[in-house]
Structure 1
Amino acid sequence: MAERNRKEETKYEQIHFRVSKKEKEIIEENARKCDLSVGEFLRQCGVGITPKSHEHLERINDLIHINADLGRLGGLLKLWLTDDLKVSYYQKSGIVRLLREIELNRLQLEDVLEKILNT
């Protein structure tokens, strides 16, 4: 049965069409960015799949790491805040401001990540 499904999935059909030189260059560049052959890139586009470029995925990965770093920073800050002696050297309003800034940065990263994923 599995052998039969493999034969049914074999690609026999061809589609021929013409594009301008500029369109061909754009298609090849977009395929390269997605690390796909031109044929696979066009096949995915044609069946409704939006290929994701590796550059796009690398930016997402960068944002994930930044968000993780912010989480670790928040954890370290929390650990620092549990030491009354260290906290007594700083104004509490400054600490609260720092916590708000960390949270705002985290929320901004989250928004950017969501926009990237939805494009």
Structure 2
Amino acid sequence: MSAARYLREVSQGYHISGVVDYEQVRELARINGDLGRLGGLLKLWLTDDVRTAQFGQSTILAVLSKIEATQEEMGKVMTKIVMPRSEL
């Protein structure tokens, strides 16, 4: 919506509804936290931290796979963040 249209509709008393789905924003924040934790685990392993000495290749590959799946999940949620204009 253009700024002129927005100002015209507000001045005429029309209710302007938001286009952001706050539930999806909350879900996106949760997913972002998950990505941060997984990234932290990967960083510990890459820095040869003593706490990750027992991590084998399969564990690291599982973490990388989980990061990729979480990124895909984040992408799906991001497409739902802004509701289609037909719902306004």
Which TM-score band (shorter chain)?
0.5 to 0.7
Which residue is equivalent to 1:115? 80
Evaluate the alpha carbon distance shift between residue 97 and residue 75 of structure 1 in structure 2; reply closer, same or farther with a 3 A threshold.
closer
Contact 2:42 2:60 in 1 (8 A): no
Q: Which has the higher contact order (CA 8 A, sep 6+)?
A: 2
Q: Max radius of gyration: which structure?
A: 1
Q: CA-to-partner distance for each residue in 1:30-86, whole Å, 9 max, x for gaps?
A: xxxxxxxxx523xx5xxxxxx336xx5321321231232023213311332122533
In structure 1, runs of 5+ residues without a counterpart are: 1-8, 12-38, 45-50
The 8 Å contact of residues 31 and 74 in structure 2, kept in 1 or not, is answered as yes
Q: In the alignment, which of 103, 108, 112 is matched to residue 68 of structure 2?
A: 103
TM-score in terms of structure 2 length = 0.58
TM-score by structure 1 length?
0.47
Kindly report structure 1 stretches of 4+ aligned residues shifted beyond 4 Å. none
**Matching of residues 39-58 of structure 1 within 5 Å:** 40-41=14-15, 44=16, 51-52=17-18, 57-58=21-22
| Correspondence 1:74 to 2:74 | no
- Residues 38 and 63 of structure 2 are in contact (CA less than 8 Å); yes or no, is this contact kept in structure 1? no
* 1:117 Cα deviation from its structure 2 partner: 1.7
**Percent of residue pairs identical:** 19
Q: Once superposed, what is the RMSD of the aligned Cα atoms?
A: 2.8
**Aligned-partner Cα distance in 2 for 1:57–1:105:** 20
Aligned residue pairs, count: 74
Q: Which runs of 5+ in 2 are unaligned?
A: 1-9
